[in-house]
């Protein structure tokens, strides 16, 4: 069974207490720059087994009456139609999605900060749309020579030119659909405006990774480097913290590099800086909630391997260059791990080599590995998932769960009416067929009832998955990797 390495309840308690302390430190109002994903942090749940993807939302719900959310979005990202890599939706669409989700949780969304605004046509249309929906939108403008020209930045022509975001609560959570959205600049602009109005307010930063009180080369922190290899983030010892306190803590290069500028901005606004280091700015308590270090180390090693396969596939698809993959390879060498250390990898490759066709393997929660091969009826992913459900339900392999009378019409529909050349059932089609069979077959019903048990299971395919199979595995919460090769030599792949 999977080992639990992280205490979520302890984390929620410690984290909410820490944020309350920081609010009080600044006299009752805090702008909290919230990095990373706020409610669907699957990276954290993979490297810290026991961490729930919505832990941060649960933590904020402890502060519900104090919290107000401001969503920052870069006007240039709207103009460029920038998309989230994981969801495939544009940043402006994601803002609307985030607002709906926050509201569903009962959290108050106060406004939208439109950063780097320079009369971009798409950004202006976005503001009109949001205003029509009853949302408050504030414009923040580009500042020449940012962040080097401190005299201009901390002036009425710099931060002072930005719209003042009207807030009503003591904890202002500034979040965004992705990196580069201007969260920090939004917070600092607000501090300038608050100070001019005689209102006491402070700034803090919430980032789960890297974890400041774990060693620099701890697998959890190296997994963060693997996850941000495309951004070229590098973990490093915080030199400012070491000098100020004589203690070694971990931060990442961008925060360390910007700290002298931040310190100078604070000094120009307040006359002094409340922090002596980037680590001081943080409020992350994740490291104090680890209860099994070895479980987190092993989970993080597996995540790095997954990131390697993902990068290799992106290279094969022409979506990135070799640098991202090479960086992850260096991390793997640092930890002395290989792709084959992921149990499903050799299992899938052995079946593929033996059959000469694409194959897939799934590792179940108890460590059992089941495989699936390509057949006339099912693709390898469908076969592997069906075999996994059989194993979870204790159904013998020789028992057929889906009647040929169900499969036949689906294949006819695909090939004769939907112009598909491939009669084999993809995972979504297989699950529909299983659901139909479950209406009259007890074994099919037992198998279908085990779908929840697939969450968190590892999957490996000997070829790059189709978009359909990839989507189904993700929706079931499974961890996917693929070999960086296609099933055929076509130029177009779906």
Domains in the chain and their CATH numbers?
A: 8-215+244-289 (3.10.630.10), 342-482 (3.40.140.40)
pLDDT of residue 492: 56
- Tracing tokens 């600044």 back to the chain, one arrives at 26
Give every CB contact of residue 131 below 8 A, 6+ residues apart in sequence.
Answer: 137
Scored b (16 or more CB within 10 A) or e, 145-172 reads eebeebeebbeeebbeebbebebebbbb
Tokens found for residue 326: 């090479």
pLDDT of residue 493: 59
At residue 399, φ and ψ (nearest 5 deg) are -75, 130
pLDDT of residue 40: 81
Instruction: Please give the Cα distance from 332 to 47 (Å, whole number).
Output: 15
pLDDT of residue 43: 93
Q: Give the orientation angle of helix 467-475 with respect to helix 380-393, to 10 degrees.
A: 20
Instruction: Please give the Cα distance from 7 to 12 (Å, whole number).
Output: 9
Scored b (16 or more CB within 10 A) or e, 352-376 reads beeeeebbbbbbbeeeebbbbbbee
Burial group, residue 65, by CB count within 10 angstroms (0-12, 13-18, 19+): exposed
Beta-bridged to residue 67, according to DSSP, are 171
Q: What average pLDDT values come out for the chain (494 residues) when binned by 10 residues?
A: 91 97 96 87 94 94 96 97 83 95 95 97 97 97 92 96 97 94 96 95 95 97 94 92 97 93 93 96 97 98 97 92 94 97 97 97 96 95 97 95 89 88 91 94 96 96 95 94 88 58
User: Is 113:165 a contact under the CB 8 Å cutoff?
Assistant: yes
User: Is 68:172 a contact under the CB 8 Å cutoff?
Assistant: yes
State how beta strands 359-363 and 250-252 pair.
unpaired
**Sheet with strand 458-461: strands edge to edge:** 369-373, 359-363, 458-461, 479-482
pLDDT of residue 361: 98
At residue 277, φ and ψ (nearest 5 deg) are -160, 160
């Amino acid at each position: 069974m999977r080992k639990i390495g992280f205490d979520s309840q302890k984390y929620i308690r410690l984290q909410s207490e820490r944020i309350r302390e920081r609010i009080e430190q600044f006299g009752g109002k805090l702008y909290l720059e919230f990095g990373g994903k706020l409610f669907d942090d699957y990276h954290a749940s993979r490297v810290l087994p026991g961490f729930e993807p919505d832990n941060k939302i649960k933590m904020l719900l402890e502060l519900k009456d104090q919290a107000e959310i401001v969503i920052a979005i870069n006007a240039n990202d709207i103009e460029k139609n920038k998309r989230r890599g994981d969801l495939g939706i544009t940043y402006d669409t994601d803002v609307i999605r985030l607002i709906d989700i926050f509201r569903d949780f009962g959290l108050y969304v106060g406004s939208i900060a439109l950063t780097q605004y320079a009369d971009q046509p798409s950004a202006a249309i976005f503001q009109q749309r949001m205003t029509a929906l009853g949302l408050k939108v504030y414009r923040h403008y580009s500042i020449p020579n940012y962040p080097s020209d401190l005299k201009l930045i901390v002036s009425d022509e710099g931060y002072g030119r930005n719209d003042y975001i009207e807030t009503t609560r003591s904890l202002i959570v500034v979040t965004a659909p992705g990196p580069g959205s201007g969260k920090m600049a939004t917070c600092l602009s607000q501090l300038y405006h608050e100070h001019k109005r005689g209102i006491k307010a402070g700034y803090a930063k919430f980032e789960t990774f890297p974890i400041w009180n774990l060693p620099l080369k701890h697998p959890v922190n190296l997994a963060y480097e693997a996850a941000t290899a495309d951004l070229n983030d590098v973990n490093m010892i915080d030199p400012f913290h070491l000098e100020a306190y004589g203690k070694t803590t971990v931060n990442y290069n961008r925060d360390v590099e910007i700290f002298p500028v931040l310190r100078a901005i604070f000094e120009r606004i307040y006359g002094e800086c409340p922090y002596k280091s980037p680590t001081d700015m943080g409020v992350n308590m994740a490291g104090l909630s680890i209860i099994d270090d070895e479980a987190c180390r092993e989970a993080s090693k597996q995540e790095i391997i997954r990131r390697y396969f993902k990068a290799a596939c992106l290279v094969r698809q022409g979506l990135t260059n070799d640098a991202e993959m090479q960086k992850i390879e260096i991390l793997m060498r640092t930890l002395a791990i290989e792709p084959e250390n992921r149990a499903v990898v050799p299992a899938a490759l052995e079946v593929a080599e033996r059959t000469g066709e694409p194959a897939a393997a799934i590792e179940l929660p108890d460590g059992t590995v089941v495989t699936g091969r390509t057949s006339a009826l099912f693709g390898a992913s469908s076969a592997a998932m069906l075999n996994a459900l059989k194993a979870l339900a204790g159904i013998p392999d020789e028992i057929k769960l889906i009647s040929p009378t169900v499969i036949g019409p689906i294949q006819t529909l695909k090939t004769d009416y939907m112009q598909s050349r491939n009669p084999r059932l993809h995972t979504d089609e297989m699950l529909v067929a299983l659901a139909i069979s479950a209406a009259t077959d007890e074994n099919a019903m037992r198998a279908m009832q085990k779908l929840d048990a697939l969450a968190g299971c590892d999957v490996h395919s000997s070829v790059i998955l189709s978009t359909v199979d990839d989507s189904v595995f993700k929706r079931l919460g499974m961890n996917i990797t693929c070999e960086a090769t296609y099933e055929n030599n076509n130029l177009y792949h779906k």
